[in-house]
Amino acid sequence: MDHPEWRPVFHLSPQRGWMNDPNGLCQYRGRYHAFYQYTRDWPGSDLRSWGHATSSDLLTWDDEGEALSPDTPEDRTGVYSGCAVIADGGRRMDLYYTGNVVLEGDYDQVRDGREANQILVTSEDGRSFSAKRVLLRPGDYPRDCTRHVRDPKVWEEDGELWMVLGARADDDRGEVLVYRSCDGIAWEHHRTIRSRKPLGYMWECPNIVMLDGKSYLAICPQGLENEKLRRHNRWQAGYLPLDGPIPATTLVDGEDFIEWDFGWDFYAPQIFSADDGRSLMIGWMGTFDEDRSSAPDGLSWCHCLTLPRELSRAADGRILQTPAREIEDLRGTPQELCENVRLPDHLADIAVDGIEGAGALILDGALSIELSDTLLTVSFADPAIGAGRTRRSVGLPRTTWMLRVIVDRSTVEIYLNGGETVFSTRWFPTAAQLSASSGIGCASSQIWPLIKRG
Ligand code: FRU
């Protein structure tokens, strides 16, 4: 089943098959490139390739087919996650990724039976890719590491190249390995970043973020305890403010870990710099959690990515996320949102400002977004529309004065207080039209239809 009414227009999704992490995000020769973890033969296979799409506006994506396939001994059981670096004065695109090798046999898959190779592929045009060159092999990691080492993120700083890798240490604690290189080919281990107290057993998909001269380390820890008002998903994605730059960092405070997004559908984000200087983040709008579906009713494609989000630093040091400003160019004629408003398609941008007191925004009579004091509660009245997503409450750092909601068919992204708290969810509406009503006391409340280009 294809269910075109669920196919997002502005969120990148696979034509068919499975999608997970965004990879190799970059702007190259003016055009945005998004690669992603892809399994065409899903369901039935979990062998990952890199899918590829390009865009001129971050919102409408052209499918470029499969860029990297698991076709060498070093990546034979998966072309796993990685990044892009634009090199040689903007002329070359360098892609770094993890070649995953799972050995057959009776192994525990943590301390044996698995190999991780860090591999480089280059491109002079963003469409054809060089032969693969293996840069780091199992013997090249620190001895106190398990076999779980992956997801290289590379950047240039002070004339050198730096790489962070997510890892699981022998004592079952998550950590980040920091490597350095002069040429992008020969890499040496520089140091390892750990948390003072344990923060999960494995850290996946590390990223570094620089905002207003301050550094942050973004990680996806596996193995944190679920809590009532946060950390609801099996694995989380978030960031840690650092005291200094990454090359000088060894210890971080796990207590400072802040989740990017509290929704049912968010993991493994990647951050990149656009040519105009913006730090943009795109996440996987999905998880591996099994209690909810992203492909109900035999859907032939599974998952999508989030909207690109602009990152900025708030006065208190938290990172704010706002939907890429390009989305505002797609707004049609606004309507005031108070009574029941209907739009012809599930494509909408909603902004409620000057909020006072409690209240709820209800979509299709099925999805409730409720604000009360320092709590956000998102719930589905109709469990079929939530496909396993039912009800979740999130603790907020302060009361809400501003709410923004973007609906793109089967996706809903909720931004509170200029992106201080974000909540992403999939839903699978059955009504032909979108209906919205708001009972939130506020100074202004507007809904724009989003207009599909072309
Ligand atoms: C995160 C992740 C990465 C890995 C990739 C495999 O979702 O587990 O660590 O590289 O997915 O698809």
The per-residue DSSP string of 118-141 comes to EEEEEESSSSS----EEEE-GGGS
Distance between Cα 51 and ligand 1 center (Å): 14
207 pLDDT higher than 90: yes
Percent of the chain scored above 70 by pLDDT? 100
Distance between Cα 100 and ligand 1 center (Å): 10
The torsion angle over the Cα atoms of residues 41, 46, 50 and 54, rounded to 10 degrees, is: 60
Write out the two tokens for 444. Answer: 């202004």
Ligand 1 atom 1: residue of nearest CA: 268
Q: CB–CB of 425/415 below 8 Å?
A: no
339 pLDDT higher than 90: no
State if residue 222 touches ligand 1 by the CB under 6 angstroms criterion: no
Distance between Cα 290 and ligand 1 center (Å): 16
Render pLDDT for 301-322 as a digit per residue (tens, 0 to 9).
Answer: 999 999 999 999 999 999 999 9
Distance between Cα 79 and ligand 1 center (Å): 10
Query: Which residue in the block uniquely carries the two structure tokens 């996946």?
Result: 204
**For residue 232, which of 255, 256, 266 has the smallest C-alpha distance?**
266
Q: CB–CB of 89/62 below 8 Å?
A: no
Average pLDDT rounded to a whole number, residues 81-96:
98
Render pLDDT for 158-190 as a digit per residue (tens, 0 to 9).
Answer: 899 999 999 999 999 999 999 999 999 999 999
- Specify the pLDDT at position 454: 73
User: Catalytic residue at 243?
Assistant: no
State if residue 150 touches ligand 1 by the CB under 6 angstroms criterion: yes
Q: Which atom of ligand 1 is nearest to the CA of 80?
A: 10
- Specify the pLDDT at position 396: 97
Q: CB–CB of 19/295 below 8 Å?
A: no
State if residue 81 touches ligand 1 by the CB under 6 angstroms criterion: yes
Distance between Cα 367 and ligand 1 center (Å): 30
Domains and CATH numbers, the chain: 11-323 (2.115.10.20), 331-449 (2.60.120.560)
DSSP string, 49-68: EEEEEEESSSSS-EEEEEEE
State if residue 205 touches ligand 1 by the CB under 6 angstroms criterion: yes
Q: Which atom of ligand 1 is nearest to the CA of 81?
A: 10
**Choosing from 21, 265, 349, 408, which is the catalytic residue?**
21
Among 18, 80, 282, 288, name the best residue to mutate to test ligand 1's pocket (greatest count of ligand atoms within 8 A of Cβ). Answer: 80
Among 20, 79, 164, 202, name the best residue to mutate to test ligand 1's pocket (greatest count of ligand atoms within 8 A of Cβ). Answer: 20
